[in-house]
A and B are shown apart, each in its own frame.
Chain A
């Protein structure tokens, strides 16, 4: 398990440093291939996003000159950046990969993009043949871990942006937003952004009112909505279920008495007011009316930060899952190492058994089917009995002791087994000089 990760991320390095190391998408296949064929490296993958650059590799003997690769590929010496770089080996590397894929290492814990980015990097690496055996297993496991974390913890469930919190709240009030209408008071950027979110979740009709009517028309056009002259604001607002207000007005435009009128016009059907203006457009007293829900920018922000806090608590649970998965992965990988040896050992003994039966068959003369079966059972039984302990020992050694390779080598030597897996790999790597150095 000779994994190594070297990288920079948003925690260790400022953006000026990260952009030095970033690899544009177009050059990623070339870079990945270059790293995978670098001396001492068997498999490799590179993740490069705006928040992180990760060079992940499996080395031949636990150490490889990744910095040398960086010098060669980037054309500058990474040594001055040493303080920004982190490096993980073996178990720590596995843990790091699991954490990154599960979005526990992200700036906003639980954000979903990173998993997609890692998957893309993996696809690129596969396409250029840079991952095949153990790294492949590591990544496949990392994706499974990410899924488990997402399913078993609430790390990614709560909304952590103002616009998505607004959508969540609207859903808490109206169920789904299908067919709901949204009224934008003011034609600012924030209004537009929130409206876009609501429309993406099914809101249908959009009304826009703005002091400058022309701007209302422009914004309404973007949503296929309806622009409304500002003078008709109070008559038309009750037609909407959700009102987003962000005007530059110095005083509140919507007060409690307006709210009462709206409610009676709407037969008390609920309304949701989102006030993103500072100073506020909506008198907070309106929230006291039954059926009207007013959230200002601070309220939304507060929900956002409490959700972020929740995510951090959930992240602790996720870390525990990751830890467990690292252990599991490690033991699986080690057992995996021993499997080819066991298989070739069994094949070897089976050949010996067959040969011996063929040799004495002449002397046994004609046998009844029962006798054939008995001979078969006898010889198989002897082999199985003898092999039971060595195979168990091999498996345990692989799982538990650090000298697994010594035990495996010893067994191979004792029985004169040819290293089939290595031979196959050599054949596959054919034109890769130095890969086995």
Chain B
């Protein structure tokens, strides 16, 4: 059953994906009216799926890679909706929806019975670590999306042509606030998540764990994240420079995610 609900959620997120594609392909705001309720429903089904699988297994099953994708997507949507409530604009979804769709889709089609062998994965610390880190990721995703939209809107305004393609974009300042606030929102989660992870790792592997690519990338990501916040706070970096940094952070985040496959110490399914 949880898998069924997840697949229903994927269909609803598909509306979000379609919305993004249509917006970017000159078709305009075709799904503007239904996209918000659709992805909202997707989020509900997603939640139901997560709750059910938790009940079935007895705990939140972040332990397989596919489940963690689903949780990450879920948290990204939650953060998206927090910002939607504050700014009443779905436009960051243009970037968020496709990411969420891909994550849930991969999770929905690739789920296999969950194997839990590592005793580490059973501890409560891991749970805290994963949720914190993922919320941090979600903030970063949203901020990344906003900084891309900022660039688009800035270009549109500078080109001085009344471009009907981008009329759906919110004002520059709103996009800017969304980007900055989601960054601020995600940072403490990311930091605490890394701290929790480090505590676990030191306990288990000793100080050598830093040489692991996954952990190295995670800390680079955190550093870029920090740099993003710092440049913004100290000299108000926006637009091109901020987008460049956010893209770096996003790429490193993807790298850190992918590093699961070749990391020795950090694995979802212990071999």
Contacts and interface: CB of A to CB of B under 8 A. Distances in A.
B158 A174 contact: no
Contact of B162 (A175, A268, A306): A306
B157 A172 contact: yes
A293 B238 CA distance: 14
A173 B157 contact: yes
A15 to B, nearest CB: 31
Contact of B173 (A270, A295, A299, A306): A270
Contacts of B161: 302, 306
Contact of A174 (B153, B173, B236, B241): B173
Name the prevailing secondary structure of the A interface residues. Answer: helix
B265 to A, nearest CB: 41
Contacts of B239: 290-291
A144 to B, nearest CB: 23
B172 A174 contact: yes
A266 interface: yes
Interface residues of B, number: 20
B160 interface: yes
A344 interface: no
A287 interface: yes
A268 B171 contact: no
Contacts, number: 52
A264 B235 contact: yes
B173 A293 contact: no
B172 A270 contact: yes
Contacts of B241: 290
B174 interface: yes
Contact of B235 (A172, A267, A270, A306): A267
Interface string B233-252: 00111111100000000000
Interface in A231-277: 264, 266-270
B157 A293 contact: yes
A269 B236 contact: yes
A290 B236 contact: no
Contacts of A293: 157-158
A303 B160 contact: yes
Nearest to B239: A290
Contact of A267 (B154, B162, B170, B236): B236
A287 B235 contact: no
Interface residues of A, number: 24
Interface string B170-197: 1111100000000000000000000000
A278 B170 CA distance: 32
A299 B171 contact: no
B240 A172 contact: no
Contacts of A158: 162
Contacts of B170: 175
Contact of B236 (A268, A303, A306): A268
Interface in A279-305: 287, 290-291, 293, 295, 299, 302-303
A290 B154 contact: yes
A161 to B, nearest CB: 14
B268 to A, nearest CB: 41
B94 to A, nearest CB: 17
A172 B150 CA distance: 12
A162 to B, nearest CB: 13
Interface string B208-226: 0000000000000000000
Nearest to B174: A175
Interface string B27-56: 000000000000000000000000000000
A221 interface: no
Nearest to A176: B171
Contacts of A290: 154, 238-241
B172 A172 contact: yes
A268 B173 contact: no
Contacts of B160: 295, 299, 302-303
B32 to A, nearest CB: 15
A306 B159 CA distance: 14
Nearest to A173: B172
Contacts of A169: 157
Contacts of A287: 158
Contacts of B235: 264, 267-268
A175 B173 contact: yes
Interface in B141-164: 153-154, 157-158, 160-162, 164
Interface string A161-200: 0000000010111110000000000000000000000000
A307 interface: yes
B160, B171, B236, most chain A CB atoms within 10 A = B160
Contacts of A172: 153, 157, 171-172
Contacts of A267: 235-236
A310 B240 CA distance: 31
19 contacts: A158-B162, A173-B157, A173-B171, A173-B172, A175-B174, A264-B235, A268-B235, A268-B237, A269-B236, A270-B173, A270-B238, A287-B158, A290-B238, A290-B241, A291-B239, A293-B157, A295-B160, A306-B161, A310-B164
Interface of B: 153-154, 157-158, 160-162, 164, 170-174, 235-241
Given A290-B238, A310-B164, 11 more contacts: A169-B157, A172-B153, A172-B172, A174-B171, A175-B170, A267-B236, A268-B236, A290-B241, A293-B157, A293-B158, A306-B161
A-B pairs, top 5 by smallest CB distance, nearest first, are A267-B236, A268-B236, A175-B171, A290-B239, A175-B173
